[in-house]
Amino acid sequence: MSDKQKVLEGSRKRIDEIDEQILDLLSERAEVVNAVIKTKVENQLPVFVPKREDEKSASFKKMAQEKGIDPEWAEDFLRMIMTSSRDKQSQDKFPIATAEPKHILYIGGEGGMGKLYKKITEQTGHKAYSIDKSNWYELEEIAPKLDMVIVTVPIKITEQVIERLKGRLSEKTILADFTSNKSSPIEKMLECHEGPVVGLHPMHGPDVQNLSKQLMVVCPGRNAEEANWFVEQCELWGMRVIKADQNKHDHVMHMVQGLRHFVALLHGSFMEEYDLRPSDMLEYSSPIYRAEMMMTGRIFAQSAELYADIVFANEERRDLLLKFFEHHQKLAELVKQNDREGFIREFEGVTDFFGKFATQALNESGYLINRLADRFA
């Protein structure tokens, strides 16, 4: 080994020692986090406290800059640690929002979302029940003690299931649903149940590690204030909660879910038609196209029936897709006519429409692209 290599070897050994010290400190930090988790559960404090994390992040970035460390990198490092802390709490108990445990039934509790929320409900200390086709007969026995019933079944059978609940629940029981469209299910619940009604839409899938920072949309139906304890429980789980008008919710979801998922099908279907496999595309792709491929590909790792239910949820959503095709034909004419100037006008019009968000999107996507390149390049 040359003298130069010996010098390098010494530096590498010191780096290894420092890395071990970092891990020791992280282990010590994890022990303190366990104490914090216990305190949160005992005092009914939420998993995710945005103000605390933002203040901690700002302070950490400032210290990093003072020490000559890239503050943006330091923030990433800290947020990974904080995410790990929230994941740890999600493996244990959660703080409970009520003085006494509630009795919550998940109809469709053996599906992905039902299993997830049933598990978290039980971790919180509430009593959770599950009913599916195989044990519907159990409803009569447990119905009198239920504080809340949440219907979490495929969209296409949601209203049929709600219909089966007619006259079977106490007027004090809150009836809710988890479907991604809200107007029709809420209308059906109001028709079939005389007690409190609320529409819920968890804006995530069943594959999340925990509910921290996930979004729950709440659409009031009847006497929705009776479900305030559940809203508070969602916040204690670390979720962000927004209340929305059911019609406004559905109008937005037609674009967010219906159109977005159909465009993914168009993308994937045309790749198949063009005989370009994902592996071919990724070999020549930039980080941003890789990100687009991941967002498209993840859809095809899931159920076709699920996405069919989302895309064909109702007539309004189908009408939006037809309008999309009409608009698509309008833009296709620019290509047919080799209308470069028309393309630029259309592009600049959309730029004006997006306004400041375009710059925000450029910055945020740049962050994602850089992290994706670091991790998977």
Check if 103-244 and 249-376 are the same fold: no
**Domain covering 249-376: architecture:** Orthogonal Bundle (1.10)
pLDDT at 262: 87
pLDDT at 353: 95
Chain center to CA of 316: 24
CATH of 103-244, one of 3.30.1130.10, 3.40.470.10, 3.40.50.720, 3.50.50.60: 3.40.50.720
Digit-coded pLDDT (tens) for 4-33? 677 788 888 889 999 999 999 999 998 888
The domain over range 3-89 is classified in CATH as 1.20.59.10: yes
pLDDT for residue 113: 94
pTM beyond 0.85: no
Whole-angstrom distance, CA of residue 376 vs CA of residue 129: 42
Per-residue pLDDT tens digits for 53-63: 889 899 999 99
Domain positions in the chain: 3-89, 103-244, 249-376
pLDDT digits (tens, 9 = 90+) for 198-243: 999 999 989 888 898 899 999 999 999 999 999 999 999 989 999 9
Give the mean pLDDT of 180-184: 91
Give the model's pLDDT for residue 282: 83
pLDDT surpasses 70 at 377: no
